[in-house]
Structure 1
């Protein structure tokens, strides 16, 4: 069953071995739009037999796909990118309806997804090994890359198509197969998009998409036919996957609680605008969102004033309206977490300067006001946990050392930012912040499709890199050949 709100071409079945099917479990799940509150589709719930079929098909198809020449695989990936580009408007509307982000953001997501197929097609044909000098003059040693095999890909609900593509483009380009589990409630755009794979020339069975929830995800990553795991999501789920998956290869990109640091010599207006945009983009439901701002005390008052002015950019409303920059949050549990963090802020007397709760008068209660909270204590939930909502907490410190300590005193280490006009101070923070990426004089929400993106050692944010040639390397095995020349 499909709502008339959806495109007539929207797919509402499982995608297994190149076919759309209802699956074998006999169970279904409703998809409710956070935008309208209406049930927009009903999807089959996959069962174990469906998973077995998908994995078996993936392994058979992958054995042929990896033997295909890399230039031929790259040509097919280029076609996928072209076909995806041709359907951006349709897919963006589906994504906004099921996810809640403003339509302009969905369009940008799909544009980047198409670019990734082109980027990784080019990366793949330039992924080469080297000849190594041997201690034995009779030997010749060389290295080369081969596909790992069949990957379980588990993606979250905040970027339904783009985060699939972050694995699919490099994975297919390097000869892998994929069995993909998106969350049920944000799977429609992806299920619709994957129909272009066969049109582009991707062999049937190489990619399957089975939307599901917790127990099904556990079955997927522990399936004996799965060789490796690609995961984007929460740190808590990542840890469960790692414990259960054992020695399987994994790329793990988990939670962030990105600090944006504003030094006393910063361009305050630019810093405030970057902080606000990094906090309201996708309703703050981004792993590299501006989760907290650490500002030098000498410029605190000026920064707060500039932030309140910049907050006028966050226009809450219907995500299909051209003037809206802040749509509804995606789901009830995430919104409830924001409620809890703000309840503590009120109880402890923090200064809520604007916003502060859910907005009434909308079709659902997921429309959350953009919120700025000042004088936040370092031991508060707003600082210690990833809020994952449109909230900007401001914390004050009196020195570079204290700002750096507050930034690093966190279990998560994904991405951070620092504003300063002194490049010596910038280098100091870049080299000493315990995050995978440090952005200077821009939002810590910055992301580029060619940037190696991921966590840092010693934190609960995972390992491996999403972006550029680094993902191709992580989705390949480095192999070595040794040839004896003597008789």
Structure 2
């Protein structure tokens, strides 16, 4: 399939029009798979971000004035446009991000459709409240109102899904949006913006500014006309965004270092299957990746052997090939961190079971072999930090008490998984695991678009919940109205 990538990526979208950046500068977008330049994208500036925020601010009344059912119709139009262009968008996603076309990219496009459909229906059920009063002559209402302008800052690992999970509920709630996507996936972001334009929303309701996050994202997060900020990305950048957005409503979906805990009574085949998905989906470049596999001692050797066999069956290669299940990493920073974490683990006594190096014979140095490390200790970098690569570190444990201590010994608290046939243990462990989400006998990389997703408070994995009505409610302002109804 051939796609004319350059047809529209030389423009951003501000106040209902495709526009160039104020400076007229462009930056190159290259493919992780080949290293080739696939397009040139506007290098937005702070002035462009300011212009977009002002447009969104002016559009607040028009957007809030659209009745709920009308907003629902518009969101379904966006979903229809994405669904209609599924194959083209999947191709662009693979070209821009690097994930395998058949194994992953098509599914991400379909998931983006779900987010817009779910938001379109959830807004019809956004309920206010009639509340009791201490006074017999008072009627008390609690009603949802749009917050105003939302700055949406999205990452490169799931550029469609993460954008949809924030933009869809923001619009459903009647807000306006200024969207600044990750620079390295600007091409697919422009294509998604084309789908949003088909909804015929008020001019300024959604604005797209491409360019360096340190400039355009920073400007949006700190702008006084922005009422709320939704961010998905690294913990370090998220902390910076939160500081810039002080005083605003903030939703942060940040890093993870999810434990996959495998007890001796688990279905080992299912646990291995879950670990493959948990460690190698999107080449491990997911905040939901299961980056620590805790295995009970009696089954450790068998589990490692079966995991290695399954990992060898993964096909690393051209992401456009139908049989590819593991594509290139998105950028050199991620590949370099993989190198560092593997080297640190081996230096401190871990054993390399599989992989551990970049693959040769490919157009770029971003292809990395599926990696398994055994004998990993909790104080190694691979245990303490988010690797964001195709790696499965194995940590042994003696009993349930130690497993829980190891699982919770992390600065992150996004998602975890537990494998056991003992339902009491599973529920006990799920209750005690310090994460915002727990999967039982399922991969860490399993989620559904309508469910509440986000990190545990007090950990470094974020603030607030995305997903379905939970995001929708958070993106509204709940106002209390007290009415005196006593007769004159």
Q: TM-score range by the shorter chain?
A: over 0.9
- CA deviation map 1:426-456 (0-9, x unaligned): 0111100000001000101111111110000
SS in 2 for 1:37: coil
Q: What is the CA distance between 1:48 and its match in structure 2?
A: 2.5
**Does residue 1:388 correspond to 2:388, yes or no?**
yes
Report SS of the residue matched to 1:31.
strand
1:92 Cα offset (Å)? 1.0
Residue 152 of structure 1 corresponds to which residue in structure 2?
151
CA contact (8 A) 1:12 1:191 kept: no
Q: Match of 1:55? A: 53
Deviations 1:303-326 (A, max 9, x none): 111111221342100000000000
Distance 1:59 1:10 in 2: 25
Corresponding position of 1:370:
370
Paired residue for 1:168?
Answer: 167
Q: Does 1:70 align with 2:48?
A: no
Show the counterpart of 2:256.
256
Counterparts of residues 75-474 of structure 1 (less than 5 Å): 75-104=73-102, 105-213=104-212, 214-474=214-474
- Give the deviation of 1:5 after TM superposition: 6.6
| Structure 1 segments unaligned to the other structure (5+ residues) | none
1:6–1:94 contact (8 Å) kept in structure 2:
no
Residues 5, 38 of structure 2: 8 Å contact kept: no
- Could you tell me how far 1:402 is from its partner in structure 2? 0.4
Shift of the 210–406 alpha-carbon distance from structure 1 to 2, 3 Å rule, reads: same
The CA deviation at 1:8 is: 5.9
8 Å Cα contact 1:7/1:90 also seen in 2: no
1:93-146 Cα shifts (integer Å, max 9, x gaps): 111111000012111111011111111111001011111111111100011111
Residue 161 (structure 1) shift: 1.5
Partner Cα distance (1:413, 1:167) in 2 = 21
* 1:3-47 Cα distance to aligned partner (Å, 9 max, x none): x87446553321212222111123221111111111111112112
Asked whether the equivalents of residues 35 and 100 of structure 1 are also in contact (C-alpha less than 8 Å), the reply is yes
> 1:234–1:254: 8 Å Cα contact kept in structure 2?
yes
> Aligned pair 1:13/2:11, yes or no?
yes
Superposed CA offset, 1:171-223 (max 9, x none) = 11110111011112201111122123232221221111112221322111001
SS of residue paired to 2:270: helix
Work out the CA distance in 2 between the residues paired with 1:363 and 1:198.
36
What value does the CA root-mean-square deviation take over the aligned residues? 1.2
Cα pair 2:261 2:419 within 8 Å, conserved? yes
Find the aligned partners of 2:258 and 2:8 in 1 and give their Cα distance. Answer: 35
How many residue pairs get aligned? The number is: 484
| Residues 29-84 of structure 1: per-residue CA shift (max 9 Å, x gap) | 11111111111111121123212221111112121111221011111111111111
Are 2:451 and 1:484 aligned?
A: no
Taking the aligned partners of 2:88 and 2:7, their CA distance within structure 1 comes to 9
Q: 1:32 aligns with which of 30, 33, 55?
A: 30
Please, which moves more after superposition, 213-222 or 357-366?
A: 213-222
**What TM-score results when the alignment is normalised by the length of structure 1?**
0.97
Q: Check whether the contact 2:45–2:215 (CA below 8 A) recurs between aligned residues.
A: no
Instruction: Show structure 2 runs of 5+ residues with no match.
Output: none
Shift in alpha-carbon separation, 1:6–1:365, aligned structure 2, 3 A: farther
Per-residue CA distance 1:244-279 (angstroms, 9 max, x = gap): 221100101100000100011100111011101211
Cα separation, 1, equivalents of 2:211 and 2:134: 53
Q: Normalised by the size of structure 2, how large is the TM-score?
A: 0.97
Q: Quote the Cα distance in structure 2 between the aligned partners of 1:9 and 1:429.
A: 52
Cα deviation, residue 348, structure 1: 2.2
